[in-house]
Structure formats: C-alpha cells, structure tokens
Amino acid sequence: MEPFSLSRRVAAEAVGTAILVAAVVGSGIMADRLTDDIALALLCNAVATGAILVVLISVLGPVSGAHFNPVVSLAFALRGDLAVRETVPYMAAQVVGGIVGTVIAHAMFGLAIVEVGTTVRTGWSQWFSECVATFGLVALILVASRLARSNIPWLVGLYITAAYWFTASTSFANPAVTLARSFTDTFSGIRPQDAPAFIAAEAVGGLLAFYAVAWLLRPGRI
C-alpha cells in the first residue's frame, strides 16, 4: 500500500491529538463531578487516558504513525524516520488538535469554551517528573518501534496509565497536551505560566531518550 499523503497524515495527527486531549480533560471533569475522592478521580482519569491511547494508536498508527506528541515527532525526525519538512506540520497539527480537544471537552460538559488554568504545577520535583515521564515514553516508543512494533498501542497506554501514578506531575509528557491543558480550569488543568517549564522539561527528557536509545540499539560490542 502506498503511504498516505502528508495532508492526510497531518489530519490524522490533529484528530488523534484532539480526541486524546478531549479524553484527558473530559474524563477529569467527569471524575471530579462524580467523586470527591482525589485518588479515585486520578485513577479514572488515568484509565481513560491509557484506554484511549490504545485505541487511537491502533487505528491511526498505520496512517500517520500516531505520534500525537511534538517530542515524539522530533525524536523520529532526528532518527530519520520523519522527514524534516514534515516535522513542523506534524507538530502544528498536534498543538492545534490539542487545543481543539479541550474545547470539545468543555462543550460536552457545558463549560465555557475557553478557560485559563489555575492549577499550580511548578517546582523542581514537577519539572524532574516531566523529564522522567517523557524520557520513559519516548524511549519506550523508539525501542518498541524497532523491536516490538505491534505492541506499541498497549505499551504506550499502559505506560501512561502507570506514569500518572509514579510521577509527581501525573505525567503530561507531551508539549501539545501541556499547552492544551492550560486552556482548562478543571481537574486536568495547569496554569499557563507553569506550562513553559513543563514543556522545556519534556523536551529535555525526549532528547535524552533519543540519545540513550541510539546508543542502546547501535550495533557493536562496545
């Protein structure tokens, strides 16, 4: 089968990221409305996010690669699996799609279409958590894309579900998602002023993962 055109792949990235963010924000709103137990709400949010990732990667992976994440696209570009001229359109589609996903979630729950996040997420532990979470995610994807491609949907879904719980930041691990979540003042939100540091930490984690995996998978005895 011939590869899909760039326009179709970019559309798949935008739609996939929109649905992902709608699931993240929407499940957070639903969980917050149904329970006052923060731990239970986080569990519901994590399960919904992991589940939708399995579905989206399984369905859209054959179309665009199902990156849904600028750091993942950057890593694939550095490895030569995504053309440089295609990287910016991928990233732009992910950012726009993420914001649209927040709008969709708000519309479904009768909230203002656009809000400003007020949840404080800052400090070294949060930034380090984002670096660790993104390192793990990108490393997992890069290794699995070479050694266990058919398992990627489940591996990513399970990793993110777990990372919600073992990181202090609840594992945003995605600059497009981070930016989109700054437009919601709900359970999943983040203050806009806290987003740049999260995005920087995610970029560092992704780059570290790229170089670590490049060394790990390089043929040779040393």
Residue 114 main-chain phi, psi, to 5 deg:
-130, 130
Are the C-beta atoms of residues 155 and 89 closer than 8 Å to each other?
Answer: no
Q: What is the distance between the alpha carbons of residues 101 and 172, in angstroms, rounded to a whole number?
A: 15
Enumerate residue ranges in the chain where pLDDT < 50. 1
- How many domains is the chain partitioned into structurally? 1
Domain assignment present for residue 68? The answer is: yes
Domain assignment present for residue 222? The answer is: no
The model's pTM: 0.95
We report the CATH number of the domain holding residue 194 as 1.20.1080.10
Domain assignment present for residue 185? The answer is: yes
Q: Within 10 Å of residue 134's Cβ, how many Cβ atoms?
A: 32
Q: Is 3 left (phi over 0), alpha (psi -120 to 50) or beta?
A: beta
**Domain around 95:** 6-216
Question: Letter for the amino acid at 109?
Answer: F
Task: Report pLDDT for 22.
Answer: 98
Task: Report pLDDT for 3.
Answer: 85
Task: Report pLDDT for 221.
Answer: 60
Cα angle value 82/83/84 (rounded, 5°) = 115
